[in-house]
Structure 1
Amino acid sequence: MRRTAATPLLSACALVLLAGCGGTEEQPAASAEADTTALAGSATADDDGLEVALVDPEGTEVGTVTLAEADGGTEVTVEVDGLPPGFHAFHVHAIGACEPDSASPTDPAMTGDFLSAGGHLGAGEADHGEHQGDLPSLFVAASGTGSLTAVTDALTLSDLTDEDGSAVMVHADRDNYANIPDRYAAGGPDEMTRNTGDAGGRIACGLIEG
């Protein structure tokens, strides 16, 4: 397995970026009904870890994520093709479900693609930027291709494959890691920024079953 030298990211990640990523989060949709048909973005396991297929809301495979044990934590490797250019937030979400046009588990009035995956792994224990599931951003070139390699000590393969599984997620926008200086917002980041880093909609999801 490839090993990379680690540098601190946020409070819980050691990372090596081959290319980066970015974020804003979903807004409530008024009338869409949840589609309970899970997409094919599921994981396969072997002695080297997990390989997860990333799919878009139409079910088209747009990349893979590999998660494996590494010195210092869990190595996450992302390869994508066919995504919009720019920085995209990349996170691990708490529930193993990748359903298009689905309802948020905590707010059924909020619907959108892959909302069935819930919030970030570790959300509720800290503000965004320090969640278990917070990872470096993914940069996608003009060609639609992008890659990322990071090592995090914030989560293990066991965390990813617990009873309700988990999901790897690419967001529409870049991630600000809730870094809004007081000179721009006297009261500091608002609740959405503290929860999500303003990462926007969810454009690709990979299912990790428990």
Structure 2
Amino acid sequence: MKNTSRTSRFGLASTVTLLAAFALAGCGEEDPGEGVEGDTGTEQTSPSDADQSAAATAELQNPQGDDLGQVEFYETDDGTEVVVDVQNLDEGFYGLHLHENGECETDSQTPDDPAETGDFLSAGGHIAGEADADHPDHAGDLPALLVNEDNTAQMSVVTNRLEVSELVGQDGAAVMIHSDADNYANVPDRYLDGENPDDDTLSTGDAGDRIGCGVIEG
């Protein structure tokens, strides 16, 4: 897992303050720290920056069993931080979601329609949260994954739609990478003639086939 860090950028005002402090220290007439109070300037860090152990992880693989990277989950005051580190994918955008079953079986059946088979269908649909929620309002909907020209992607996002305990309990959950970019259920060209959005748009944002999957384990 690549360790990312967030670097503070000091503006002109900070530079002037530092120069003034150095000048005061050089005078030697009084202790520059005497009587000084206030913020130390310590930068806030996320759990993933502070070497805190992940509360849950998912190892991603494609249908051929090749390694695609890892996703880690951290508990924070603001919600669940999802840290993604992906490799071995072509450059471009990919749909990224959390699915309702902790199963990543190839050539499997979808729980809702046993007649339908395909890779990673055993993971079921997106974690819905609200029973009547459509995409992109599912609890398991995440920002699209951007893979760079070096075939890797790194992303960190905090969501308050679910807790880590919901991802590892009962039937578990899975991280899913889809073959296409997620349009978040915005209206595609095929609806310009007045056709209503179909199930593919309302349930997955037309994100395409399931090409990467990882069971979330605590």
Among candidates 57, 61, 74, match of residue 68 of structure 1: 74
Aligned partner of 2:205 among 189, 197, 203? 197
The structure-2 alpha-carbon separation of the partners of 1:188 and 1:96, relative to structure 1 and needing over 3 Å to count, comes to same
Matches within 5 A, 1:5-154: 47-122=53-128, 124-154=131-161
Runs of 4+, deviation exceeding 2 Å: 1-4, 181-188
Q: Percent identity?
A: 49
- Flag the structure with more relative contact order, 1 or 2, with Cα contacts below 8 A and sequence separation at least 6: 1
Aligned residue identity for 2:215: L
Q: Which runs of 5+ in 1 are unaligned?
A: 5-45
CA distance in 2, matches of 1:149, 1:117: 23
Query: Are 1:177 and 2:175 matched, yes or no?
Result: no
* Cα separation, 2, equivalents of 1:181 and 1:116: 27
Aligned length: 169
In the TM superposition, what is the alpha-carbon distance from 1:181 to its structure 2 partner?
A: 7.2
Secondary structure of the structure 2 residue equivalent to 1:194: helix
Please state how far the C-alpha of 1:2 moved relative to its aligned partner.
8.1
TM-score by length of 2: 0.71
- Give deviations 1:84-124, integer Å, cap 9, x for gaps: 22100000000000011111111111111100000000174
**Contact kept? 1:54, 1:64, Cα under 8 Å:** yes
Amino acid aligned to 2:140: G
Q: Which has the larger displacement, 116-125 or 148-157?
A: 116-125
RMSD of aligned alpha carbons? 2.3
* Contact 1:128 1:197 (8 Å CA) reproduced: yes
Alignment-derived partner of residue 206 in structure 1: 214
Question: How many Å apart are 1:3 and its aligned residue?
Answer: 9.3
The corresponding residue for 1:160 is 167
Q: Give the number of the structure whose alpha-carbon radius of gyration is greater.
A: 2
**How far off is 1:185 after superposition?**
5.2
The separation in 2 between residues aligned to 1:136 and 1:84, in whole angstroms, is 18
Cα distance change of structure 1 residues 61 and 181 upon mapping to structure 2, 3 Å threshold? closer
Structure 1 residues 184-193 or 139-148, which shifts more?
184-193
Shift of 1:209: 4.6
Normalized per residue, which structure has more strand? 1
Deviation of the 1:47 alpha carbon: 4.8
Residue segments in structure 2 that go unaligned for 5+ positions in a row? 7-51
- TM-score, structure 1 as length reference: 0.74
Measured in 1, the distance between the counterparts of 2:116 and 2:68 equals: 25
- 2:64 and 2:56 mapped to 1: Cα distance? 23
Which whole-Å CA distance do the structure 2 matches of 1:185 and 1:93 have between them? Answer: 32
More helix by share: 2
